[in-house]
Structure 1
Amino acid sequence: MKSKSFTDFLKNISLKSCHVLDASISKAQYTLLDLSEANTELDTVDVSSSSKLETYIHNHIKKQNAKVAFGGYLEVRTIYKRSKHFNNTEAEERNIHLGIDLWSEANTPIFAPLDATVHSFKNNINYGDYGPTIILKHHIKAIEFYTLYGHLSVSSIDNLEVGNVFKRGEQIATLGDATVNGDYPPHLHFQIIKDLQGFVGDYPGVCSKQDLAFFKTNCPDPNLLLKL
């Protein structure tokens, strides 16, 4: 399936929002958050500190009278410079974010946006990585694709099994805190993946500029489903 037709397919799956957080949270209670290198406010924040970044995000949500901050698709971020997981001497820097982040409190429930089965799960424990992660497989109108949920609580994968079935709107997980989620303020990394390329319980959520063309096609904008 061509990239254009796949994005059209995703956009037309549902006319209404496909929720990954509590459906009772209205769109008006979501606020955009810019964590890109272009946001000069971040120059005064120690983004290498999860607690200081959490304070910045919490204050932003409060200032906007919101409940959830969201954003980040294709953002170029400097936050990843703190971790060797994204940067080494052998490859170009990975700093372009491929999912949407939804920033909320630890233990916030996460829900299946569509009917799904569990493809795989894993605790990705590298510093700056996802921590506990679930990948769901979706099969709609003969088209198969995947959604990834990163930065979860450890309990989210404790009793999970490959092949478990979730209906749209069923709770699949809860958010983890900085002690388990790769050392970030609590948030969900939500990503759509067309071809998993053999990955199990993991898939790149950040890419380099040189690989952007491929990943932009393989990981289209999650807002096609979320409609925020």
Structure 2
Amino acid sequence: MYTKIILISGFLLFAQNSFSQSIILNEMAIDQFEKSQIDSAFTLLDKAQKQDSTYSETYYNRAVMYRDMGMKDLAIIQFSKAIHFNPADIDSYMNRGILFFDNHKDDLALNDFNTVLKSEPERKEALLNIGLIYFNSKNLKEAESIFLKCVELDTNYASAYFRLAKIKMQQEKHSEAYAYLNKCISINPEKLEYFEFRAIMNLMKGDNKKACEDLWKAIQLGSVDNTIIKAHAKECH
């Protein structure tokens, strides 16, 4: 009887030590990855998973590393493993949903984003991505409804206002589009694509002076690839 108790206690102590070791190794792996020591980071995660193969954080962090390295398919696999060991891991659902969206797997992305919203109804990033799926599928009515929910949750959510501006442009409601775009720029005056888009709108309005002001602001912020703006760049000299 006493022998069994000792064995059980020893097993629990071993399990606790293994879990603690896994946590430490996992944190060390994150530190190494942030220092661009990629091989070392993955070696530490391997060791962490040998200590405790059910510790979901090691799969999550491996997924983040793969994602940041551009290995989307491998990242999806690891986020899926993290979810397997921790079904309440909402961040893994969110990140996997974004990768599904990037890979044009909209149904799978929607499932993940909706799972996020069931646990966190005010997770605006999940809502925004659902809106983008509807927008890309030309369901503008549903997309607009979703983006409006986003700005209800956060009145300074520039990304949602920008999508609303694009919808209003497609609906040829130019004054509403322009108002949404001005809102974007008031919130984030350092976003190149906002100034690119407003430059195009100003050109459409025939306001070349304001178009040139937006063009030069866009150039200051970074490389301008928009062919429409480049075609009018000479007018701004």
The TM-score bracket by the shorter chain reads under 0.3
Larger radius of gyration: 2
TM norm structure 2: 0.23
Q: Which structure ranks higher in relative contact order (CA pairs < 8 Å, sequence separation ≥ 6)?
A: 1
TM-score (ref. length: structure 1): 0.24
Relative to its length, the structure with more helix (as a share) is: 2
